[in-house]
């Protein structure tokens, strides 16, 4: 018995599934998917086969042509769920499992019509990363097993289903139900299985890119993301031809817990990116870059998550630099620096979670989630790039993509590849300090620009009366204002807040990065005029990136602590399970 992934019951002495055939019937009333999955092995197999499940009701297990076979669910593990062991007879090529999902399946969020923009129909979306695919489908839920898949999704008439796959047809069943069919021909890790069902419309952005959203949002989404084809072209310049055929995007209702999720062929996005001025499209650059770093070359387990995220953050900023210049990239790195410092602070009593090569046996990967694999990882990638020079590093990247395409690798495999292709580089940048030591190495690369320095000096002069001039206030782009706000002292007075709001009109901002940074400052300052807007944002948006700092800042004062609890009581039924857990964790740190 060998378990190479601490977050899966997958046994590497058993065969890997090669392909899944899914039949999913979506029942909004029961908040349940009734599913059947056929696991194909691409050859004969027999003996025990261990699958991951969590909260699933297993109804039957069959081998086609053979009939029902023996199966057994193991004890419940709070992180891993339950092992489903099948006893597979001699000569088996595929097994079929019929099952139902639990109403509280972590991968699935069921929204009532009121929780959508249109308020006309319910909505369902999945989020399988980190290890939640097993709450939607019994499978070998580890990136070490890559699967192609086909799917038939049965939904109520009038609703549309999309998946991390290409559509292959649809038909009305005439009984108030409609079937959508999909094919994902390339092998993907299970965490990239994805499904959404709702009232959806699409707009084409280029011959290979399209955006989906609720009808109420689709025009705004098409405008905001109109530049995506240009981004795809720039990303191809870095990594080589786009490997997934189409790049479509889906804008979800506001409870989506992440900024984006790189589901192949169908990136999922938060509607908080619809700033109305295209100022937040760096998240699209990020998800797009995952098409190579993450989806094509994948971390072997969540212990090597930095291989996905570090490379992707580096690539996101590289794309922004090509599109918008050095200053824009430097501001991106500065915002990342803030996120990195916040995460180092968040884990100051658990420094073992600030290394890149993590040891997560017995640890829920959602609890270990932070900006560290993203930002510390990106700094290691940038350090390597600086060490060997841009051109040589780009050639290395192409080789890396070629060598590991459609595979899932460990940090050790990465290091040994770098050792061969860029001998001495890991030692020169002291990679060990990033991979295995907590905190940030002193030698980490810095990213500076004149504009960034100006913003920093000005913000740091706030306590001495330094204020931006009218000309600066009028000229700053959204990212410049955001970096300025991030660099301000964390403890402002209510009078400081009033000044900022008056001069920057912060309360009415549609750019959520700016709005939430401002509201966090205001909550820190116990600034009462901001309370209604804080309430409004926390009731509407479930993106964890915003909930964590806002609820955290509300924990600083007696009356804001009470406010936080009151808002959470009202908002939590509308939050995704992941978001609810994060907020509960923050509130527990600041008892009433």
Q: How far apart are CA 156 and CA 120, in angstroms?
A: 13
Instruction: Give the total residue count for the chain.
Output: 592
Least separation in angstroms between residue 312's CB and Zn ion is 5
374 is catalytic: yes
Q: How far apart are CA 589 and CA 287, in angstroms?
A: 32
Residues 306-335 as x/- pattern, contact with Zn ion by CB under 5 A: ---x--x-----------------------
Count of Cβ atoms closer than 10 Å to residue 461 Cβ: 11
Burial class (CB in 10 A: 0-12, 13-18, 19+), 201: middle
Least separation in angstroms between residue 278's CB and Zn ion is 20
Q: What are the strands of the beta sheet with 201-206, ordered from one edge?
A: 201-206, 209-213, 247-251, 266-269, 260-261
Nearer to Zn ion, 10 or 311 (CB): 311
528 is catalytic: no
Nearer to Zn ion, 14 or 312 (CB): 312
Nearer to Zn ion, 142 or 312 (CB): 312
Q: Of 287, 303, 385, 480, which residue is the catalytic one?
A: 287
Contact between residue 227 and residue 233 where contact means Cβ atoms under 8 Å apart: no
Largest CA distance in the chain: 80
Residues touching Zn ion, count (CB under 5 A): 2
Q: Of 191, 247, 374, 551, which residue is the catalytic one?
A: 374
Residues 262-301 as x/- pattern, contact with Zn ion by CB under 5 A: ----------------------------------------
Q: Dump strand ranges (E) for 357-506.
A: 407-409
- The pair of three-digit structure tokens given for residue 100, joined into one six-digit string: 């139902």
Least separation in angstroms between residue 286's CB and Zn ion is 6
Strand partners, 268: 250, 261
Least separation in angstroms between residue 426's CB and Zn ion is 23
**Stretch touching Zn ion by CB under 5 A, among 70-78, 110-118, 304-312, 459-467:** 304-312
Q: What does residue 156 show for φ and ψ, rounded to 5 degrees?
A: -65, 140
**Stretch touching Zn ion by CB under 5 A, among 130-138, 305-313, 334-342, 348-356:** 305-313
Contact between residue 20 and residue 315 where contact means Cβ atoms under 8 Å apart: no
Q: How far apart are CA 573 and CA 117, in angstroms?
A: 17
Least separation in angstroms between residue 353's CB and Zn ion is 18
Displacement of CA 192 from its chain's centroid (Å): 10
Least separation in angstroms between residue 365's CB and Zn ion is 14
Nearer to Zn ion, 191 or 434 (CB): 191
Nearer to Zn ion, 284 or 422 (CB): 284
**Among residues 140, 131, 139, 128, which one has the least CA distance to residue 79?**
131
**Stretch touching Zn ion by CB under 5 A, among 274-282, 303-311, 347-355, 424-432:** 303-311
Nearer to Zn ion, 309 or 375 (CB): 309
Residues that bind Zn ion (CB under 5 A): 309, 312
Which residues form the catalytic set? Answer: 287, 374
């Amino acid at each position: 018995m060998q378990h190479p992934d601490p977050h899966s019951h997958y046994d590497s002495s058993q065969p890997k599934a090669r392909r899944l055939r899914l039949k999913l019937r979506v029942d909004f009333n029961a908040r349940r998917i009734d599913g059947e999955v056929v696991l194909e092995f691409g050859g004969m197999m027999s003996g025990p086969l261990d699958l991951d499940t969590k909260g699933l009701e297993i109804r039957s297990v069959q081998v086609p042509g053979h009939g029902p076979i023996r199966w057994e669910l193991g004890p419940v593990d709070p992180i891993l769920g339950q092992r489903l062991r099948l006893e597979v007879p001699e000569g088996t090529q595929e097994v079929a499992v019929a099952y139902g999902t639990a109403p509280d399946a972590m991968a699935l969020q069921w929204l009532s019509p009121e929780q959508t923009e249109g308020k006309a129909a319910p909505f369902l979306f999945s989020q399988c990363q980190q290890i939640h695919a097993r709450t939607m489908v019994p499978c070998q839920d580890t990136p070490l097993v890559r699967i192609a898949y086909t799917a038939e999704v049965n939904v109520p008439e009038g609703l549309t289903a999309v998946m991390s796959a290409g559509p292959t047809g649809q038909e009305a069943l005439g009984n108030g139900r409609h079937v959508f069919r999909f094919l994902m021909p390339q092998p993907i890790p299970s965490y990239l299985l994805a499904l959404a069902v709702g009232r959806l419309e699409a707009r084409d952005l280029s011959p290979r890119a399209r955006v989906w959203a609720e009808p109420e949002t689709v025009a705004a989404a098409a405008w905001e993301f109109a530049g995506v084809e240009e981004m795809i072209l720039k990303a191809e310049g870095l990594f080589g031809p786009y490997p997934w055929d189409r790049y479509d995007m889906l804008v979800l209702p506001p409870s989506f817990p992440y900024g984006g999720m790189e589901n192949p062929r169908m990136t999922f996005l938060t509607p908080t990116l619809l700033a109305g001025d295209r100022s937040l499209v760096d998240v699209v650059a990020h998800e797009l870059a995952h098409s190579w770093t993450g989806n094509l070359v994948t971390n072997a387990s969540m212990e090597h998550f930095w291989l996905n995220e570090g490379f992707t953050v580096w690539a996101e900023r590289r794309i922004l630099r090509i599109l918008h210049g050095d200053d824009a990239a430097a501001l991106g790195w500065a915002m990342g620096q803030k996120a990195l410092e916040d995460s180092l602070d968040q884990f100051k009593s658990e420094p073992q979670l600030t290394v890149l090569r993590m040891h997560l046996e017995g640890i829920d990967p959602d609890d270990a989630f932070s900006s560290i694999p993203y930002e510390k990882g990106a700094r290691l990638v940038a350090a390597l790039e600086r060490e060997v020079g841009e051109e040589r590093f780009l050639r290395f990247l192409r080789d890396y993509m070629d060598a590991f395409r459609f595979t899932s690798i460990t940090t050790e495999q990465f290091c040994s590849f770098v050792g061969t292709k860029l001998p001495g580089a890991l030692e020169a940048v002291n990679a060990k300090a990033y991979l295995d030591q907590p905190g940030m190495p002193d030698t980490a690369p810095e990213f500076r620009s004149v504009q960034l320095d100006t913003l920093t000096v000005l913000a740091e002069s706030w306590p001495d009366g330094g204020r931006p001039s009218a000309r600066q206030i009028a000229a700053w782009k959204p990212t410049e204002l955001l970096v300025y706000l991030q660099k301000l002292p964390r403890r402002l007075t209510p009078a400081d807040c009033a000044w900022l709001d008056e001069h920057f009109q912060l309360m009415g901002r549609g750019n959520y990065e700016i709005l939430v940074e401002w509201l966090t400052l205001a909550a820190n300052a116990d600034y009462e005029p901001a309370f209604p807007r804080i309430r409004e944002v926390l009731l509407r948006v479930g993106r964890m990136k915003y909930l964590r700092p806002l609820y955290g800042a509300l924990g600083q004062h007696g009356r804001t602590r009470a406010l936080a609890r009151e808002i959470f009581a009202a908002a939590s039924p509308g939050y995704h399970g992941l978001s609810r857990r994060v907020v509960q964790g923050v509130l527990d740190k600041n008892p009433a």
